[in-house]
Amino acid sequence: MKQAKILFFILDAIPNAKELAAADELHAQVVFRNANYVPAEGSLEECDGVAGTVPKRYAEAFPEAKAAIAAHKKANEAKRGAMGDTPAPKLPAKTAAASPAPASVGSAAPVAAPAQPQADSAPPAPAGTASAPKPWGQSPVAPAKK
């Protein structure tokens, strides 16, 4: 199943070592975003949860990362149960009288020949005439003038 998407907000262009370590501990799909560039209004990027230095708009709209990951994991487990991760039922036992005897190897039973592709119903025209079929990519050949 798909991992939870977590937006990890930082205050610089790239995450520092502490922020990278914190992101690794989440065990989710972590996407870093610079909190300095979050607009005061407009649409928000979709995610399952947020972490790091979270802007107020995102903190109000999305859950904290660990809670979001736990909820995402629980939802995935429910989906797996609904998809049928249980073993298939066993087939009923067959009776010996119901199964036909297998054919012996090398038996003299006739075997039908494989079907042959059917050609056009009209016989092919002689080569060199305008109506003769040509291989793909070749233009028809005009008869040679004498």
pLDDT in tens, 31-85: 999 999 999 899 999 999 999 999 999 999 999 999 999 999 898 888 776 665 5
Q: What's the number of domains the chain is made of?
A: 1
For residues 121 and 109, the answer to whether their CB atoms sit within 8 Å is no
Prediction pTM value: 0.54
Per DSSP, 76 falls in state: H
The amino acid sitting at 82 is A
Identify any residues that bridge with 30 across adjacent strands, giving them in sequence order.
Answer: 6
Question: Two tokens at 60?
Answer: 């109000």
Residue 25 inside a domain? The answer is yes
Residue 31 belongs to a domain: yes
CB atoms within 10 A of CB 79: 11
143 occurs within a structural domain: no
Is residue 107 a part of any domain in this protein? no
Task: Flag whether 110 is in a domain.
Answer: no
Q: How far apart are CA 117 and CA 95, in angstroms?
A: 42
- Residue 74 is assigned to a structural domain of this protein: yes
Domain span holding position 15: 5-83
More confident residue, 13 or 142: 13
Give the model's pLDDT for residue 77.
Answer: 83
pLDDT tens-place string over residues 113-138: 666 666 555 566 566 655 555 566 66
Flag whether 100 is in a domain. Answer: no
How far apart are alpha carbons 117 and 127 in whole angstroms? 22
- Tell whether 138 is covered by a domain: no
